[in-house]
Amino acid sequence: MKPLTLGFSPCPNDTFIFHALVHGIVGVPDLAFEPTLADVETLNLAAAAAELDVAKVSYGALPFLLDRYRLLRSGGALGRGCGPLLVALRPTRSDAIGELSIAIPGRLTTANLLLRLFEPRVAETVTMEYDRIMPAVAAGEVDAGLIIHESRFTYPQHGLVKIVDLGQWWEEATGSPIPLGAIVARRSLGERTSDVEGAIRASVERALADPSASAGYVRRHAQEMSDEVTRQHIDLYVNEFSIDVGDAGERSVKELLSRASAAGLVPAASGDPFQFDGST
């Protein structure tokens, strides 16, 4: 079988999780992976075009992908205290958010979906890669920015202040962890999907058992991130939900999809997105 194309981001949590898999330290016989590292919205769009066999995507993109992809239980990003933040140069009332021009990290991102659920009146958004958002806000190109990943640790360095923590809002509104990133596999893989899922789970478990093994790989892709921020990033985004979403994770994902479809933001999911019966 030819290698499966595997898309994930260069962020520390993803390179940490997938290091053992892409380097053949763990895996399944006759199952190899060809990695593609890209920004989260690039991965969302690649999956929407069915260009990847396996991909890390936003839960905000998931409803648009379920006709071609299955949702896996391992390797994703869910948690508490890790949601997207809306930041600006100066304090702003939350009831004025709808009047702002806001930079977002992608139309299909979970961050954008949460923003729309929090404030349906948002009218003006500008899409840009996540690492350009804080400089754009600091330069006055937009009124506010929706930040993700390690930006939650570094936004004060850009002279920015937090307007709202959308993860905190979600947790208070639902009592559930915040679902951020999902792992999906092409439906045409059929019964091999369980092999893929098992290999990803093994890679997560290996990463957590021996964190130092992936340090060089993580550092090569961490761009300008300091070692401290890299460590904080991994500690926050890689957790028990990365091994398996569990019951709490399932409930949270279903709640997000239900609220989003009720608001008319995404298509309604048909059936249980976590159900896998081995069929194509």
Q: Which residues are catalytic?
A: 149
What is the C-alpha to C-alpha distance for residues 210 and 222, in angstroms, rounded to an integer? 19
For 248, the 3-state DSSP assignment is helix
DSSP assigned state of 111 = H
> What is the bridge-based pairing of β-strands 178-186 and 54-58?
antiparallel
Phi and psi at residue 6, to the nearest 5°: -125, 115
Residues contacting 103, CB < 8 A, separation 6+: 125, 126, 127, 128, 132, 133, 136, 137, 141, 142, 144, 145, 146
DSSP assigned state of 278 = S
For 223, the 3-state DSSP assignment is coil
Q: Which of 140, 91, 93, 106 is closest to 38 using CA atoms?
A: 106
Q: E strands within the chain?
A: 4-8, 33-37, 54-58, 69-71, 77-79, 85-88, 101-104, 124-127, 144-147, 161-165, 178-186
Distances in Å between the Cα of 129 and the Cα atoms of 41, 80, 81, 91, 222 are: 8, 24, 22, 24, 15
Cβ atoms 83, 180 nearer than 8 A = yes
- Displacement of CA 218 from its chain's centroid (Å): 17
